[in-house]
A = this chain, B = another copy of it.
């Protein structure tokens, strides 16, 4: 039996991520992907059921990787300040190391496939985060909040900063560079917002 060329599968995934990050789900097609990797379009159907399956599978894989990194050195039992700071820094660092992967996931986040992606991700991420937030509320480290309110205040600013950077336009200058300084500033403000 002929063996799978794992390198080609990796190249396929990598190229799909890049194409979607740079041109959106719009600019992505199986034929373009096959051509870019040097593979027959039919080969892609050996690995994935159809186009949607490919996007959702790769999306879930990258999301899982991102979430894993965001939980590095994190436990739900941490103090709220330390826990949030840890997660923030992990996410910021992941963006610095993998800007294309982050942009890829952002493209998915605003697509109709995102629910499918999250369903496929699985894992105990949600559970851990809920434990963390509920624990912090019990320990009176933060005010009682619906999870969505907490999440919106805690993490949306980071991803907006990333978006500004990706779009490369500042309201003030023409170029916008995302600095560690700005991330730190923003984190400080977020912490201030959530402390009782």
Interface residues of A (CB under 8 A from B): 23-27, 106-107, 109-112, 114-115, 118, 126, 129-130, 145-149, 151-153, 155-161, 163-164, 167, 169-172, 176, 182, 185-186, 189-190, 192-194
Contact = CB atoms under 8 A, between A and B. Distances in A.
Contacts of A186: 149, 152-153
Contact of A26 (B25, B159, B169, B170): B25
Given A130-B171, A147-B171, 6 more contacts: A23-B112, A26-B26, A130-B172, A147-B172, A148-B161, A152-B164
Task: Say how many copies of this protein the assembly contains.
Answer: 2
A111 B24 contact: yes
A148 B126 contact: no
A182 B146 contact: yes
A167 B115 CA distance: 8
A118 B174 CA distance: 13
Contacts of A25: 24-26
Contacts of A153: 157, 186, 189-190, 193
A163 to B, nearest CB: 8
Contacts of A171: 126, 129-130, 147-148, 151
B156 A160 contact: yes
Contact of A149 (B111, B126, B149, B161): B161
A157 B189 CA distance: 13
A161 B170 contact: no
B112 A24 contact: yes
